Amino acid sequence: MARVKTLVITGFGTNCEKESAHAAQVAGSDVTDTVFFSDLTAGRANLTDYTFLVFPGGFLDGDDLGASQAAAQRWLYSKVSNGSMLLDQLKAFFDAGGIILGICNGFQLLVKLGLLPAIGGEYFERQVSLGINDSARFEDRWVSLSVNPKSPCVFTKGLDKLYFPVRHGEGKIVPKNGATLDTLTSNNLIALQYADPETWEPTQEYPANPNGSPLGIAGLTDPSGRVLGLMPHPEAYNHSTNHPAWTRGESAPLGTELFKAGIEYLRQQ
């Protein structure tokens, strides 16, 4: 079976790197390294040495200019010390069959880089964005998520109902136009939806849908299913006592299950 090598990328305000790396480790990643963005540009680490990339949550550049906007430019325009474009490394990594998980601020980055949703295979085109929550507030609360069983996403395979915390101020999906939204649905690129905790139906009701995202979109995948971006934080549910009501005996599948599914996919390759 293929060895899984995970790379967690941090720096410039990313702040969930530790628990993200921990989640990958618990999920069975054979090698889990955490590097700073500057390690990549210094040429000390190379994306193509890995098979699983994690873009963790945080506040890249303090959300100045809008979440991940400045970081997206950094990915687009930065060079590695040998003169090559860093973006080419990312493309090479993806073309080689690697998987990518972007969480919260990492999801915002993937969307702004155009790695998601890549409708029609148009990678690195910004097709949707994530705007300010309808409440215009940052909020920390746990949300119920229903998994789209028809999505090609490798991370959600075999999963059904999930329960993770959201912690963001800019999580509302905004498509470039109305047609984009329809295509997301018809192509099953919507991987996760905010759901009513009772019925598990996708919802627009606040606070079950914490940001007003259309169709309750909480997470998107790409046509290959190898990229997942989601606003909720699976890595924050890495232990039974992370659940907000574990003292009441409540539980749900750990967020590490998402990591596990991704790793399982890589093992099968």
Partner 1 sequence: MLTRVKVTLKDHVTDAVGRKTAQAIRDFLDIGVDRVRTVKVFTLDGVSQDTAQTIIDRAALHDPVLQDASLDPVTGDFSWALEKGFRPGVTDNEGRTARETVALVAGLSPEQAESLSVYTATQYLIDGDLDRDAVERIGRDLLANELIERISVKSGEEWKESPGFEAQAAKVVAQAVDEVGLIDIAAMDDDALMKFSRDNVLALSLEEMHGIQAYYADPVVKAAREKAGVSAIPTDAELECLAQTWSEHCKHKIFTARINYENKETGRSEQVDSLFSTYIQGSTATIRERLGEDDFCLSVFKDNAGVIRFSDELSVCVKVETHNSPSALDPYGGALTGIVGVNRDPMGTGLGADMLCNTDVFCFASPFWQGELPPRLLHPRRVLEGVREGVEHGGNKSGIPTVNGSLVFDERYLGKPLVYCGTVGTMPVEVAGRPSHEKFIDPGDVIVMAGGRIGKDGIHGATFSSEELHEGSPATAVQIGDPITQRKMYDFIIRARDAGLYNAITDNGAGGLSSSVGEMAEFSGGAHMDLAKAPVKYDGLRPWEILVSEAQERMSLAVPPAKLDEFLALAKEMDVEATPLGTFTDSGYFHVTYGDTPVAYLDMDFLHEGVPQMELEAVWERPVIEDSGPVRVEDQGALLKDMLGRLNICSKEYVVRQYDHEVKGSSAIKPLVGTLRDGPSDAGVLRPDLADSRGLVVSHGICPKFSDLDTYWMMANAIDEAVRNAVAVGGNPSHMAGVDNFCWCDPVQSEKTPDGRYKLAQLVRANQALAHFCLAFGVPCVSGKDSMKNDYTGGGQKISIPPTVLYTVIALVDDVAKAVTSDAKYPGELLYVLGLTQRELGGSELSDQLGLSFNQVPQVDAMAAKERYLALHEAMNQGLVTACHDLSDGGLGVALAEMAIGGRVGLDFNLDLVPSLGCQSAAEILYSESASRFLVTIAPENQARFEALFVGKACSLVGSVRNDDLVIVTRGGEQLINEPVQELVQAWQTTLDW
- Give the interface with partner 1 as residue ranges (CB under 8 A): 10-16, 18-19, 22-23, 36, 38, 42, 57-59, 61-66, 69-70, 73-74, 76-78, 112, 126-129, 131-142, 165, 167, 172, 174-176, 212, 233, 235-242, 244-245, 247-248
Query: Is 239 part of the annotated catalytic residue set?
Result: no
Q: How far is the CB of 12 from partner 1 (least distance, A)?
A: 7
E strand or H helix that includes residue 95 = helix 86-95
**Nearest C-alpha neighbor of 105 from the set 143, 71, 65, 148:** 71
Instruction: Say how far apart CA 197 and CA 185 lie, in whole Å.
Output: 22
Q: Copy the structure tokens of residue 59.
A: 């506040």
DSSP letter assigned to residue 133: -
Q: How far is the CB of 261 from partner 1 (least distance, A)?
A: 19
* 16, 17, 233, 257: the active-site residue: 233
E strand or H helix that includes residue 122 = none
Instruction: Say how far apart CA 131 and CA 68 lie, in whole Å.
Output: 11
Instruction: Say how far apart CA 235 and CA 238 lie, in whole Å.
Output: 6
Q: Copy the structure tokens of residue 216.
A: 């309750």
Instruction: Please identify, using beta-carbon distances, which residue of 52 and 142 lies nearer to partner 1.
Output: 142
Q: How far is the CB of 27 from partner 1 (least distance, A)?
A: 13
Please state whether beta strands 139-147 and 161-168 pair in parallel, antiparallel, or not at all (unpaired).
antiparallel
Please state whether beta strands 161-168 and 190-195 pair in parallel, antiparallel, or not at all (unpaired).
unpaired
* 19, 170, 235, 264: the active-site residue: 235
Q: How far is the CB of 149 from partner 1 (least distance, A)?
A: 28
* 16, 17, 19, 104: the active-site residue: 104
Instruction: Please identify, using beta-carbon distances, which residue of 121 and 178 lies nearer to partner 1.
Output: 178
Instruction: Please identify, using beta-carbon distances, which residue of 112 and 226 lies nearer to partner 1.
Output: 112
Instruction: Say how far apart CA 8 and CA 21 lie, in whole Å.
Output: 6
Instruction: Please identify, using beta-carbon distances, which residue of 219 and 234 lies nearer to partner 1.
Output: 234
Instruction: Please identify, using beta-carbon distances, which residue of 141 and 150 lies nearer to partner 1.
Output: 141
Contact in structure between 223 and 187 (CB atoms under 8 Å): yes
Q: How far is the CB of 23 from partner 1 (least distance, A)?
A: 8
Cβ neighbours for 162, distance < 8 A, ≥ 6 positions apart: 144, 145, 146, 147, 192, 232, 234, 252, 253, 255, 258
Q: How far is the CB of 128 from partner 1 (least distance, A)?
A: 6
Query: Is 16 part of the annotated catalytic residue set?
Result: no
Instruction: Say how far apart CA 119 and CA 100 lie, in whole Å.
Output: 17
Instruction: Please identify, using beta-carbon distances, which residue of 247 and 268 lies nearer to partner 1.
Output: 247
Catalytic residue list: 104, 233, 235
